[in-house]
Amino acid sequence: MAHVLIVDDEPQITSKVCGVVEDLGHKVITTTKSTEAMELLKKHSFDLVITDLSMPEITGMEILKKALEKEGTQVIIMTAFATVANAVEAMKLGAIDYIEKPFSLDVIEFRVKRVLELQKQKYLVEHYEKVVGEQLESGFIGSSPSAKKILDLISKVAPSDTTVLLTGRSGTGKELAARMLHDRSPRKTRPFIAVNCAALPETLLESELFGHEKGAFTGAEARKRGRFELADSGTLFLDEIAEMSTNVQSKLLRVLEERKLVRVGGVDQISVDVRVVVATNRDLKEEMGNGKFREDLFFRINVFPIEMPHLSDRKDDIVPLAEHFLKKLNYAHLKLDIKVSELLESYDWPGNIRELRNVLERAVILSGGEPLSIDEFSLEIDDGPLVDSANAGSYAREGLEMAEKQMILDALARCAGNKTDAAKMLKITRRRLYSRMKVHGISP
């Protein structure tokens, strides 16, 4: 529903135009006084203004200029034949259309519908470009429901100082999500410090996190500031936190609770102002049950959990991600044809986004700069039966094949023969659907 202002010093004109616009489902305000129209434009925002050009006190040209001061407002000029030249001038100033008096109701309906539809399309294009621009800037590509959910959660929690726990398998983009949380927070101009807890032994990890004093241990020849101090007023990202020993966990818990730390070998307490984001690919509840992760630390970091989805749950994002990686590899000209796209969408991607990027890089090298084909991708795709024989009880093999064939025929019938919709219904790719149709002799 659009908000429309109609201005004409003739009441019968405003009434006639108002009726047409209201019948289209839009909210309308009318006035026969140009001075009142100017006041309305100051106080309110309108999607569309329809104004007469020749009026006493204030002209339609002045109303046009005032209306265009607000972004997103379109103006249609109404004019008599004698002032068509002025209407053309109004178009040059920014009016989107003009209607010559006398006019029919059909003309009003057509012009208003066209202008508002163009305005809607313009908004959608600008919105799309803005979203895509933000995603490209952050490196997060995706429009699937799972991707949108992650972006929504990040946008909601980023402005706060709340501790965030990122979970999910390796390669799902947990560090990228952490960087997005930082970049969209008030701390974005301050440091973002990342620590891989799995890459450091216990003694070294403690020193890396909290720092150490000179002589604290063999080799400590000078005082060293830890990552918490380096991240002061910024964000500290602790990746693979489940690999941290329980001893370091207890010291981390104290720092998170008190926002103060003591360097290794030191006695002085040092205050730190740090937003903490942690990540793990393990099940922390299971780790707690095994005595490998402290329960009190879990409840301290599990304030705002975000589970990063597996790439196989983001099928709609695979091709856009692949094209993004091709662009980063300076091979944007290597387009993905339908066979390659279907191959990528058919694969389960156990290594997630990281594996996709590596597979693309290898394919580019093998292609020698030529268009990519499925020959450059050594992916093992499961094209087996849709019906699982392991759970089929006493059904014979022939019965399983008949059941699968009937499943495909039913899906095609329910989707009026649309292969894409049928594949979605069966939760398989089009490539696999075509493959199983061929096996069963079902004509495409």
What whole-number distance in Å separates Cα of residue 385 and Cα of residue 233?
Answer: 56
Answer whether residue 239 is part of any domain: yes
Last residue of a domain, one of 55, 89, 122: 122
Only one residue has tokens 């370091």, namely: 248
153 and 295 in a common domain: yes
Q: Among residues of the chain, what percentage have pLDDT more than 90? A: 43
275 and 416 in a common domain: no
Q: Which amino acid is at 408?
A: I
In this predicted structure, which of 98-102, 156-160, 246-250, 263-267 has the lowest mean pLDDT? 98-102
DSSP 143-184: -SHHHHHHHHHHHHHTTS---EEEE--TTS-HHHHHHHHHHT
What is the span of the domain harbouring residue 25?
3-122
Cβ-Cβ contacts under 8 Å for 373 (sequence gap 6 or more): 337, 339, 340, 367
What is the domain-level CATH number for residue 214? 3.40.50.300
What whole-number distance in Å separates Cα of residue 340 and Cα of residue 349?
Answer: 15
- CA 143, 144, 146, 152 dihedral sign is positive
249 and 360 in a common domain: no
* Model confidence pLDDT, tens digit, residues 68-87: 988 778 999 998 765 667 77
What whole-number distance in Å separates Cα of residue 48 and Cα of residue 134?
Answer: 29
Largest CA distance in the chain: 95
* Half-sphere exposure of residue 216: CA atoms within 13 angstroms, side-chain side: 20
Range 175-192 average pLDDT: 92
* Model confidence pLDDT, tens digit, residues 38-72: 999 988 889 899 999 888 889 889 999 999 988 77
pLDDT at 260: 94
241 and 192 in a common domain: yes
Report the chain's C-alpha Rg in angstroms: 32
* Half-sphere exposure of residue 428: CA atoms within 13 angstroms, side-chain side: 23
For residue 194, list its beta bridge partners.
237
- Residue 234 in tokens: 């910024």
Q: Which pTM value belongs to this model?
A: 0.57
What whole-number distance in Å separates Cα of residue 325 and Cα of residue 304?
Answer: 30
Domains held by the chain: number: 4
> Strands 260-262, 269-271: parallel, antiparallel or unpaired by DSSP?
antiparallel
